[in-house]
Structure 1
Amino acid sequence: MRQALVDGKNLEDRTARPGCLKAAEEMITGAHAETVAQLLAQEAATGLRADVVGFHGQTVWHNPDAGVTVQIGDGQALADALDMPVVYDLRAADVAAGGQGAPLVPIYHRALQSASAFPMSLPVAVVNIGGVANITWIGEGGELMAFDSGPGNALINDWVRARADVSMDEGGKIAARGSVDFLSLLALMGNPYFKQLAPKSLDRNAFDTAPVDKLSTEDGAATLTAFTVETICLGLEHMEVRHGGAASLVVVCGGGQHNDQMMSQLTDALEMPVMGADALGWRGDALEAEAFAYLAIRSLKGLPITFPGTTGVKEPMTGGVLVKPSV
């Protein structure tokens, strides 16, 4: 998949599959077919049956300013393999209408917050730390605002993979042994993205590790972790200014909630409670998968999945492409 990110870079035709992209698309589709088939087999024992699959695929290039977002994953092939309807290509309509096409999950964040048994007063901020970090702000009246705040885990993963031959800094243990290099952090924070007004979104590879390349493995991990934390704090500050007050609670989901170093720094930096999604009874690691199932249902019902406050699109709009088994 790392080669797919290379081969997808700078694509202008979102249907093109140069380099390894065709093979990667077949692999992604096959992996989803296998996983969903296993889930359906488990459901059969309970008498439940899914009606539709929400299929996001894998983003290999995202440049909404050029009107391009590319997700590999063959919706028709998945529908045929599973013999059931599939809703896929969930970002394209928003981008075609002038939106950022991301983030897509905020409407599900609001659904979770509304149904939560955990008492919380609005406004609430939900921070999803995946490869990229994004923030959803649920206002006092339930209004939504969201944007990509900056890097999430991607830079840290790339760094420790190159330096320590591990896929991630599990628990933030490598970063915990290092020290933040503030000159390098300042260079990272100088990226012009952070001066842009929201809504805005990022490609996974919008940043690189060049400013920390001369640091030790531990100091580089510490600095990149601080970079993610600082940009999340900057994003929350932007939300507070826009809405005239702080959130009552910050909920962290995605892989970042398992990075103890990152969570500790966020808790220390913010003057509001910070909780992992799992602590609320949400399934933080499965949240995005759940969200795309939710978006598929909204798509089938013609309900909006993106909004002016979340992607910058001019009006709330639905999205996604429905395909049914061809045989």
Structure 2
Amino acid sequence: MNTSKTYNVIGLMSGTSLDGLDIAYCCFEHKNKTWNFSIEKTRSINYSATFKTQLKNTVALDAPKLLAFHNQYGSWLGEQVKVFIQKNNLKVDFIASHGHTVFHQPEIGLTYQIGSGQHLANACNQKVICDFRTNDVAIGGQGAPLVPIGDQLLFSNYDFCLNLGGISNISFHDGEQRVAYDISPANMLLNYICQKINLEYDKGGQLGRTGKTNLQLLAQLNDLEHYKLEHPKSLGFEWFAENVIPILDHIEDSIENLLHTSIIHIASQIANDIINTKKVNATVLITGGGAKNNFLIETLQHKLTDFATVVIPSVDLIDFKEALIFAFMGVLRERNETNCLRSVTGALKDSSSGVIYYPR
């Protein structure tokens, strides 16, 4: 009996590093209790300087202005999707959108992603599944990270899945359950330093490579309370602004040295956590923008010598893995199957999260 079922879905992702919107048209097939996938078409849309400033400043907006921008951003997402579908002549079952995180404070029961699902659906005339985090937080979870369900079902051939976006997060199987959490700031930290010299990012880690370690800065970063907490745990921009920016702004040193030290810090925290799992001859799949920072990857691999090997996949997977997995989370929601794992988020139970909107 043929038990296969296919889904054609567009995944949308906008990350904390504010580099832009990732759009991925993905095909999923469920056959004989296993999932296969392919990324068929992609597009990255860089945010304009004005739009980037708007997104960055959403945390300071009053409620009416924030909600108005939530709707405006949803319409903008839908317009980008409509163009993408028409240009590529795509057959689409639905859109799965992460939205853009403004607030993430699960300790007070709050997480909020802008990008109104109804406005998005109306603008592109497609069914939309979005708001994947709120339900998990409502039942006591961190609402993050969410990607591990995709790691478990689509990338189980790797011991660790490491994403280097604005924040570094890791996912792996421990005994009978999936474990995942945010390790440290990553591109959020490096890009903040670069912006001090009006540079968007340190391409390939070239500036960081030429610097030297600032031991005072390294000690302060390594001493952050987050690293002493047990998982599940997650990070957001508010945490970064409160705990990391004051450290950076009170250290006087060259940009090269600040970048170099931050890369040593990021690599050290990641390597420590991987080594502490005591897995032998492990493989670490690395995706996200940080996978293109050659100095960061080399530093991490050096620290993992004799413990694990890093694997850098194709550019499509580096850039669009999160969009792919949010598309997949939409598929699981469509099937009313688990897409948020309590073992990862600390929620009271596994859940099938996401809100469905139909165009009007």
TM beyond 0.5:
yes
Residues 113-128 of structure 1 aligned to structure 2 (within 5 Å) = 113-114=155-156, 120=157, 124-128=159-163
Amino acid at match of 2:226: Y
Q: Is 2:130–2:355's contact at 8 Å kept on the other side of the alignment? A: yes
Post-superposition CA distance 1:47-74 (Å, at most 9, x none) = x511110011100110001000011111
Listed as ranges, the matches of 1:84-95 within 5 Å are 84-95=126-137
Q: Which has the higher strand share?
A: 2
- 1:149 and 2:183 equivalent? yes
1:117 aligns with none
Task: Show structure 2 runs of 5+ residues with no match.
Answer: 1-51
Listed one character per residue, the Cα deviations across residues 129-177 of structure 1 (whole Å, up to 9, x for unaligned) are 1101100103576x31100011111011011012x21111111111011
Matched, 1:176 2:209: yes
Matched with 2:224 is 191
Between the aligned partners of 1:57 and 1:169, the Cα distance in structure 2 is 26
Indicate the percent of aligned positions where both proteins have the same amino acid.
29
Residue of structure 1 aligned with 2:235, choices 198, 202, 212: 202
CA distance in 2, matches of 1:131, 1:29: 22
Structure 2 counterpart of 1:127, which letter?
Answer: L
**TM-score where L is the length of structure 2:** 0.78
Distance 1:34 1:298 in 2: 25
Residues 7 and 18 in structure 1, CA contact (< 8 A), matched pair in contact too: no
Aligned partner of 1:78 in structure 2 is 120
Deviation at residue 105 of structure 1 after TM alignment = 0.6
Indicate if the aligned counterparts of 2:75 and 2:116 stay in contact, CA closer than 8 A: no
1:72/1:66 CA distance change after superposition, 3 Å: same
> What is the RMSD computed on CA atoms of the aligned residues?
2.1
The answer to whether residue 257 in structure 2 is matched with residue 211 in structure 1 is no
Q: Distance in 1 between matches of 2:340 and 2:294?
A: 32
Q: TM-score, normalised by structure 1?
A: 0.86
Map 1:246-265; keep pairs closer than 5 Å: 246=280, 248-265=282-299
Q: Equivalents in 1 of 2:281, 2:359: separation in Å?
A: 45
SS of the residue corresponding to residue 61 of structure 1 reads strand
Q: How many residues align?
A: 302
Structure 1 position 42, deviation (Å)? 3.9
Q: Of the candidates 260, 267, 276, which is equivalent to residue 312 of structure 2?
A: 276
CA contact under 8 A between 1:94 and 1:100: conserved in structure 2? yes
Distance in 2 separating the partners of 1:191 and 1:258: 26
Which residue in the other structure is 2:59 paired with?
8
Distance across 1 between alignment mates of 2:262 and 2:351: 36
Q: Could you tell me which runs of 5 or more consecutive residues in structure 1 were left unpaired when the two chains were aligned.
A: 115-119
Query: For each residue in 1:241-285, what CA deviation from the matched residue of structure 2 results, as whole angstroms up to 9, or x when unmatched?
Result: xxx534620111000100001000011001211111328xx6120
Distance in 1 separating the partners of 2:99 and 2:139:
21
Distance in 2 (CA, whole Å) between partners of 1:3 and 1:40 is 26
